[in-house]
Amino acid sequence: MDQLLIIFAGFLMVLGLIGSFLPVLPGPLTGWFGLLILYLIPNIDLSIVTIVVTLIIAILIWVLDYIIPAMGTKRFGGTKAGMIGTTVGLILGILSPIPGGIILGPFVGAFVGERLNKANTKTAFRAAFGSLLGFLTSAFIKLMVSIVYLGLFISIIWNHKAELF
């Protein structure tokens, strides 16, 4: 039974890595559930402090994931229309069959939002670039946290391999 739980936890870890780039799936939070499953396995001694700290980090990253792209848009001269456009573009980019839609969506959304708000092309382009930069920054942070969680997962399994397998 422990092996099935470990496989499921490993699956959540992989989903966490994938979720670093797909906003639909909260990467670090998904990976955290893999750590929680490890915590629940009787043969693994994982401290509650580790679980709580990693949960706090995962929630913080999840919240920041919604704030950072909008901050990027605003930092580069975007308005509320550009931030709304970023969010709409992100959603449409996810649903789009176009390869790279998830990256192009926020960029195009911010650009269109700014143009609808009567911004000139240069201002709209700068806001769109800020949106893209914010999205890439957010994805990078989520990827780094997910990799740390995966490393923690592997380390825990490795340290308990004799009891588990």
Residue-wise pLDDT for 9-61, tens only, equals 999 999 999 988 776 788 899 999 999 999 999 888 889 999 999 999 999 99
Q: Quick check: 146 and 17 in contact, CB under 8 A?
A: yes
Q: Where are the alpha helices (DSSP H) in the chain?
A: 2-18, 27-40, 48-75, 80-95, 101-116, 121-159, 161-164
Q: What is the pLDDT of residue 90?
A: 80
Single out the residue of 31, 21, 24 nearest to residue 51, CA to CA: 31
Q: What is the pLDDT of residue 8?
A: 96
Q: What is the pLDDT of residue 48?
A: 95
pLDDT tens, 19-31?
887 767 888 999 9
Query: 156 falls in which pLDDT band (50, 70, 90)?
Result: very high
Alpha-carbon distance of 20 to 50, in angstroms, equals 21
pLDDT tens, 116-132?
988 899 989 998 888 78
Alpha-carbon distance of 12 to 90, in angstroms, equals 24
Q: What is the pLDDT of residue 23?
A: 67
Percent of the chain predicted with pLDDT > 70: 99
Percent of the chain predicted with pLDDT > 90: 42
Compute the C-alpha angle 88/93/97, nearest 5°.
145
Over the chain, what is the mean pLDDT? 88
Q: What is the pLDDT of residue 84?
A: 84
Q: DSSP secondary-structure letter at 41?
A: S
Alpha-carbon distance of 148 to 35, in angstroms, equals 11
* Type of residue at 129: F
Q: Quick check: 111 and 126 in contact, CB under 8 A?
A: no
Query: 115 falls in which pLDDT band (50, 70, 90)?
Result: very high
**Displacement of CA 103 from its chain's centroid (Å):** 13
